[in-house]
Amino acid sequence: MEVAAELATQISAMFAAGETPVVLGGDCSITVGVIAGFVRHDPNVFLVYIDGGIDLETPGTNPEGNVDSMGVAHMIGEPGSEEAFSHIGTRFPLLSPEQVVYFGFEQGPPDDEEEIVLRKYAMRNFPASAVRGRAQETATEVLASITEQKRPFVIHFDVDVINFVDFPIADVPLFNKGLTFAETMESLAVFSASPLFAGLVITEINPDHMDEDGTNARTFVRELVKVLRLADAQAS
């Protein structure tokens, strides 16, 4: 919680300076701090949540206390959230459910507690099954819906959205699930090229899960730089 609160202050300063932050995590809870910083200046910011999961658990539904799986729940003020964490921003909740768009996640069974919360709020979502094979097209559709409302958006990018068999990099692997590395980068390129793109959070990279010679790390950095260059070219 202390890290998220400090991050909110830093992000707020960057926003005020007209900068586009790129935040390297860390687990997914750091996105709470990033959004808390943004809403100090623009409460209408959207969050595009590219993640293998949907992070809608609370301490009540996950008694093990893994806050990594609770970020969105705290941002939208889901009942059962830890009050101190969900109130770190200048307003509560930080986001309304309609400000969150899920992209690329693996759906759970209908009776899964997170899936129940997702349906309760009718949050917009594009699971991996809807993205695979048409990543650019789906990302373009999502972007169009945001652009229509002329709202800036932040991208949360948990690398566990990438099929671990295709590209081993995540701390919590998804085996033969999720998106390919190419599909993920294609999607990021679409989003980052928008003039409404306001920031990027990257989480859950585990160097110990990569290949020993560092090929995957170099590939990831190279492709990410391409994505951010697109964003920079659009901004200029």
Smallest Cα–Cα separation from 100: which of 119, 128, 135, 72? Answer: 72
Beta bridge partners of 170: 205
CA distance 116 to 137: 28
CA distance 75 to 86: 6
Q: What is the pLDDT of residue 105?
A: 97
Task: Reply yes or no on whether the pLDDT at 146 is more than 80.
Answer: yes
Confidence of residue 211 (pLDDT cuts 50, 70, 90): confident
**121 touches 101 (CB < 8 A):** no
Q: What is the pLDDT of residue 234?
A: 60
Q: What is the mean pLDDT of residues 106-134?
A: 96
Count CB neighbours of 213 within 10 A: 8
Task: Reply yes or no on whether the pLDDT at 236 is more than 60.
Answer: no
Cα torsion 30, 36, 42, 46 to 10°: value is 40
At which residue do the structure tokens 């539904």 appear? 61
DSSP 68: G
Give the Å distances, CA to CA, from 94 to 36, 38, 46, 172, 215: 6, 10, 11, 27, 39
List all residues 6 or more positions away from 141 whose beta carbon is below 8 Å from its beta carbon.
Answer: 126
Q: What is the pLDDT of residue 65?
A: 77
CA distance 221 to 77: 34
**CATH value at residue 134:** 3.40.800.10
Q: What is the mean pLDDT of residues 90-117?
A: 96
Q: How many domains does the chain have?
A: 1
Q: What pLDDT, in 10s, does the model give residues 1-13?
A: 788 889 999 999 9
Q: Domain range holding 210?
A: 2-235
Q: What is the mean pLDDT of the chain?
A: 93
